[in-house]
Structures are given as C-alpha cells and as structure tokens.
Structure 1
Amino acid sequence: MLKLFIRNFVKQKTVGILNISSLSLGIMVSVIVGLWTIQSFSFDNFHTNGNRIYRSITQVKVNGVENLYPSIFKPYGEEAIAKYPDIEAMCRVVINYNNEEVWVGNQIYPDSKTLIADNNFFTVFTFPIIEGDNAASVIDSPDKVVISEKAAKRLFPGENAIGKTI
C-alpha cells in the first residue's frame, strides 16, 4: 500500500500535494473545532450554580450598523425579574474599558483593569475569597472594593491589602 502511494505521488506530485494538504487542513480544522467546543463547555464551570447563570446581551443598531454589548440596563433586569418568576437574581457586571488609573497613596497604577458590579456579585458567582468578609457582605457598600491576589501583590507589595485605601 505504501509502495502504491509513493509510486502515484512520484507520478502525480501536484495531485498528491493537494490531497495531503487538504487532508491535513481537514484534520487541523476538526481539532480546532473540537478544542473550541471543549473550552466553551468548560468555561467558568467552577461556579457552584454555573448551569443556572445566564448572560444577557443588548443588541443596538446605530446608523445601520449592528452592535452587541455584553450588558443590559438595570430597569430591563428589574422588569425581567418581575415578569419571569424563574429568574432568581440579577447581577450587573460592567467591564471598565477606559483602563482607568488606580491610586494607592501618591502612587499611580495606569491601565488597571477594573469591573463594576452589583453588591450581590459574590452570591451569584462563587469566586473564592481569600481574605476578608464573607461573600454576602464583602461589597455591601459603595466604599468597598475587592481586588485579586495578583492585584494585591502588585499594589501592596509585602503587606496585607485589607483595610488599605485605593
């Protein structure tokens, strides 16, 4: 069988190269689609109620151009909760695309990635809290923030970040 393949490949190099290339491309696309599917089904699977968390997207058409935004307005969420009793809670999470500065004392940390979320964020999402209050009260007032362990090490090297002002 291998001898036949080599003999035909030597006689018809163009056809052989096209066949091998298309077979390689087909296998490569199948592997990429498979890996993408596995990643999609495993994304954020660590949340306790991950199968009950949904994301709403706003579709806006301006000047004939359609844009999708990964957020909704608060009145829409409140109306949805009132209209559909299956919705248990609504939590808005807004990514701050402005890459605002974070100030710690007189030190400025530019291009800091920040999120703005409702106070029930840690009751909907089960991110682990390493230090500080419990999930229900960790951001129960506007003057509280939560930072990641990586951000705490960057902003407060060698010291405890709890109780510090940002």
Structure 2
Amino acid sequence: MTASTVQSTALLRGSKYFCIVLAPAVVLAVVLLLAGIRAGLPPAGTALLLVGLGVVPGIVFKGTKGFFRSRGLADHWRTDLVTVLMLAGTVICYLIPVPEPVPATAAALMIGNAGLAFFRRWLNVSAHVSVLLFGLLWTVAVFGNAFVWLLLLLPLMCFTRVSLREHTYAEVLAGTAWGLGTFGVWLAL
C-alpha cells in the first residue's frame, strides 16, 4: 500500500467514526437532554422526555424495518409513524405544560423529521447535516455565544457525508437548508 492509500483509508475510517458519533439520533438525544436540563426538569422528567421523544421513535423507526418490508409496506410509512409518535409527544409537552424550551424544541424536531421524510422522496437530503445544524444553532441560541465554535462541526460533517459518498453536494446543501428551516420553526415557536 502506498502512503496516500493509507492516508485515504484512515480519512475514510475517521469520517465514518465522525458520522457515527454525530449521528442524527445522537444529536437529537443530546438536544432533548439539554432541553430538559434547561427547562429545569428533574432527572426522571428529562429521562422520560428522552425516552418518549427520542428512544421510542428511534426504536420504532429502526426496529420495524423488517416488519414493514416483509408485509410489503412502504418505508415512508415508518417515518410517518415516527412523526405521529413525535406529534403525540409534542402535544403532551404543551398540555402538561412542560417548561420551555422543551415544547418548542419537540415541535421543531417533529416538523424537521416530517420535512426530512417528505423531501427525501425527491432528494436524498442529508439528515446528518440537517439535524446537526439544527442542534448546533439551537445550542448557541439556548446556551449562548460561548458555543459558537461548535459550528465548525458543520463543514466537517458536510465533507464526511460527501467523501463517504453517502450524499452529493446538492444533498448536503439541501440538508443545510432544511436544518436552517427547522431552526427557523423553533425560533418562530
């Protein structure tokens, strides 16, 4: 192997690890955890928030793939089911009422998930980029400018998604646009 091949292989491994560490489910879990903490929820309340809006929808999405495919059901129905679960969780957050920023964050995440499902029918919008951008902007807005440096993670994610050939530049840009849109929804709420 040449030195450039070794470097290329190492770069791809690093890119894969980066995408695993900052996978959409991980970023969403961190955002929900931070929202619960910021809202002053007790540990049990924060855990319930994380399970209800993150873990259960994630398990339904990942765990039902075989079930849906074996019955000839379209994959987008799984995403629709997750969106319905997140909508129910969001409504519960508003009805209880859970202190902000939890309800607005839950609503923005639900709308972001629904938008990704909708737009992925035409373009393989990068969920990694979209969710990461939302999470980074949300963190800066909620916890202050001391976290602006985290925005450096976005170009790295864009680079890794393209270098791993998971997305094209257009799909990464679409993910960026949807992340901004989701953050705009959160700001509006």
Q: TM-score scaled to structure 2, two decimals?
A: 0.24
Which of these two proteins has the greater Rg computed from alpha carbons?
1
Structure with the larger strand share: 1
Structure with the larger helix share: 2
Q: TM-score scaled to structure 1, two decimals?
A: 0.27
